[in-house]
Amino acid sequence: PNKRKIVVSTNIAETSITIDDCVATIDTGRAKTMFYNPQDNTTRLIESFISKAEVKQRRGRAGRIREGLSYKLFSKKLYEEDMVEMPTPEIKRVALDSLYLSVKAMGIKNVTKFLASGLECPPLEALKKAETMLSTIGLLNSEDLSLTELGRFISLMPVMDSKHGKLLIYSILFGVTDIGVLITSLLSIGGLPFVNGIENREKIRKILSQNKNKGDILASVEIIRKYLEINDKTKKRQFIKDNCLSFNKINEILSSQAQYYSILKDIGFLPFNYQPNVKFREFNRNQDETELI
């Protein structure tokens, strides 16, 4: 009684979460959205104004059990003149490697023509980039663009980035399974697992430089491995603090790691009873070979 609950949320609250007793929303009119640039093959999280459809969706979060209020932190003029009617479809703003591979695995020869027949056609430049990338990493035959054997296996894996799928399979083939899965899990979070405040930058630089011969990614993996070896909760918390690690990012990495092990078991590359760092030594016979990794 006599308390007001305030929920601070990303745009996940537009459609994925319903809070029944919410009676007011405060809408910034902005969101961070992933956009892919095929020219330099990069994906960026860009903050921009949302669409009119999303404004209406946000307004609808309030007043589900009684009359509600929706406060907008932007002008009516901006809404009418600058905001587009509908958000950009995901197929037009993400890398298409995974989609291209999935369509090819369905037995469709001309992927570009097939996708062009959809309600929203993806950019031709992005499709060509996906085609080139998949050929370069050995998932498509460069001559006739058919799937290679490696491509067939990776098409069975629900991973966002086909390069990550290749890394997982090669890790098993070369006997560095656990560290390969950990590296892929780290890459999947889209950055290093540190709290990147200005006050931490120099400290993080020193932490990474202790493993200067390995590069930032392998140095970060080494730190995460040390964290996982600690069993005491108090010592784990202290380790996170001492090494400027982000607890949320560590949890993301561990969640991805569990998913990747499950995927590799499902497609038959790992035994169903496989456990990391337990009796299956042949899968990690080269785990100390830094050059190979």
pLDDT digits (tens, 9 = 90+) for 226-251: 888 888 888 888 888 888 888 888 89
Q: What's residue 218's pLDDT?
A: 87
Q: Are 123 and 106 in contact (CB under 8 A)?
A: no
Q: What's residue 211's pLDDT?
A: 65
Q: How far apart are CA 179 and CA 289, in angstroms?
A: 11
| β-bridge partners, 30 | 49
Q: What's residue 173's pLDDT?
A: 94
* Positions of the chain with pLDDT under 70: 211-213, 278-279
Q: How far apart are CA 77 and CA 126, in angstroms?
A: 34
Report the predicted TM-score, pTM, of the whole model to 2 decimal places. Answer: 0.76
Q: How far apart are CA 14 and CA 27, in angstroms?
A: 11
**Listed residue (190, 184, 168) closest to 265, CA to CA:** 168
Proportion of the chain in helix, strand, coil states, percent, rounded to 5 = 50, 10, 40
